[in-house]
Amino acid sequence: MARSPVLIYLGVVLFVVLLLSFAPSRPNRLHRRLKLRSAAHLSTPSGLDRRSIPFDPIIADIERVREDREWEKSHYFPEGHAPAMESQPEWEDFMNAEDYINDEERFNVTHRIVELFPKIDVGRADGFVTADELTEWNLRQVEQEVLHRTQRDMELHDKNHDGLISFTEYEPPSWAYRLHDDNSTDNKVGWWKEEHFNASDWNGDGLLNLTEFNDFLHPADASNPKLIRWLAKEEIRERDKDKDGKLNFQEYFNGLFNLIRRTDDVHNSTFKSETSSEMPAKNLFSELDRDNDGFLSEDELIPVIGDIHPSERYYAKQQADYAITEADTDKDGRLSLKEMIENPYVFYSSIFTDDDDYDFHDEFR
């Protein structure tokens, strides 16, 4: 019985290979050209492109190398005098990295999907990819990307090279300073204050290791209860107009309510007017106000911090759900290898070339 999943995969792969052998030659579907995310976009403070978590590790590696080079030029070699690279990956033989991923001899999308399919179908090796399995795959890819950036930032800020960062070592970016009416900039935005640093310091030693620094830069993905409480406190600090340390209904309604993502009927994001949204806002406020004092405290905001600050898992699931919707041709709620092969551009970013017929439906997949 233990051999059955292996036999299933061998049979599926053999079937696909036979199909490829007899299919007419259309390398990488020439009406499409695969695209890489720009290094400039990946380097922005806002972080990742939420609509394009890298599906293929090879694509992710190429983008990472390109981004690293741009990052090194801007931080270490601002005059453009970067040293030559000692070793070059295979795709460096091409004038443009996108030429490599669009060369059917070197990078074939169908072959890549066949290779990746069993690595995604791990929950239960049944020959289908579920939304949960695709979510976990997306999450692993983006976590590697986020951690890589954290390692790079740690190298920049770790002045004494001890693998740890103290608060005095970390220099916030210039945009992290609040410009006051008198043009003074002596107050940092709360995100970069020492309280945030200390909340990220899980073991309380006054220093951040790699995991803690990653939490510091990406608190929405942290499991550290001190950091989650700090996020709740920050939400109150930013919206507490009367400075009483809690939120009344109006302070909550003016902005915070619309940030809370709910999957139940309490909040429907399609509400267009203040009047139509006030009733669901009051319902949610009453649900969160557990002590019924008419205010929201830090403790009462903690249960919805994940809605206010969505984690990478949220975006990984969002992209997985999108892929299932677009590629699930038989509408059984899961993806077969055949469905993924027939809909490769749901998983790989691409643009149309001028050589082939224009398909309006395909462009907006």
Cα–Cα distance for residue pair 281/249, rounded to 1 Å: 9
User: Confidence band (pLDDT; 50, 70, 90) for 12?
Assistant: low
Of how many residues is the chain composed?
A: 365
Residue 4 pLDDT = 59
What Cα–Cα distance (Å) separates residue 39 from each residue in 192, 196, 303, 346?
25, 29, 36, 22
Task: Report the SS3 class of residue 32.
Answer: strand
Cα–Cα distance for residue pair 194/217, rounded to 1 Å: 13
Specify whether the CB–CB gap between 25 and 119 falls below 8 A. Answer: no
Residue 185 pLDDT = 44
Cα–Cα distance for residue pair 79/355, rounded to 1 Å: 40
DSSP state letters, 296-359: B-HHHHGGGHHHHS--HHHHHHHHHHHHHHHH-TT-SSEEEHHHHHH-GGGTS-EEE-TTS---
What is the Cα 324 distance to its own chain's centre?
18
- The DSSP bridge pattern shows strands 128-130 and 334-336 to be antiparallel
Task: Report the SS3 class of residue 208.
Answer: strand
Residue 86: pLDDT over 90 = no
Whether the model clears a pTM of 0.85, i.e. scores above it, the answer is no
Residue 317 pLDDT = 94
State pLDDT tens for residues 304-345. Answer: 999 999 999 999 999 999 999 999 999 999 999 999 999 998
Residue 363 pLDDT = 36
Cα angle value 213/215/220 (rounded, 5°): 155
* AA identity, residue 231: L
Structure tokens at 66: 């390109």
Residues 58-62 have a mean pLDDT of 90
Structure tokens at 365: 């997949």
Q: Which of 35-39, 109-113, 352-356 has the highest mean pLDDT?
A: 109-113
- CB neighbours of residue 201 within 10 Å: 22
Residue 102 pLDDT = 84
Q: Specify the DSSP element, H or E, that contains 214.
A: helix 210-217
- DSSP character at residue 38: P
Q: Which of 1-5, 155-159, 278-282, 331-335 has the highest mean pLDDT?
A: 331-335
Percent of the chain with pLDDT over 90: 50
Residue 29: pLDDT over 50 = no
Residue 106: pLDDT over 50 = yes
Longest CA pairwise span in the chain (Å): 75
Q: Which residue has the tokens 């690293």?
A: 68
State pLDDT tens for residues 245-275. Answer: 999 999 999 878 888 855 444 444 444 445 5
Task: Report the SS3 class of residue 71.
Answer: helix
188: β partners: 177
Q: 42-51, 118-127, 185-194: which has the minimum mean pLDDT?
A: 42-51
Q: Burial level of 350, CB count in 10 A (0-12/13-18/19+)? A: buried
Cα–Cα distance for residue pair 179/363, rounded to 1 Å: 43
Structure tokens at 72: 């090194």
User: Confidence band (pLDDT; 50, 70, 90) for 74?
Assistant: confident
Average pLDDT of the chain, as a whole number: 78
Residue 97 pLDDT = 78
* AA identity, residue 285: F
Q: By C-alpha distance, which of 46, 60, 43, 44 is closest to 138? A: 60
Cα–Cα distance for residue pair 74/95, rounded to 1 Å: 22
Q: By C-alpha distance, which of 359, 361, 335 is closest to 113? A: 335
State pLDDT tens for residues 162-174. Answer: 999 999 898 766 6
Residue 300: pLDDT over 60 = yes
Specify whether the CB–CB gap between 350 and 32 falls below 8 A. Answer: yes
Residue 182 pLDDT = 43
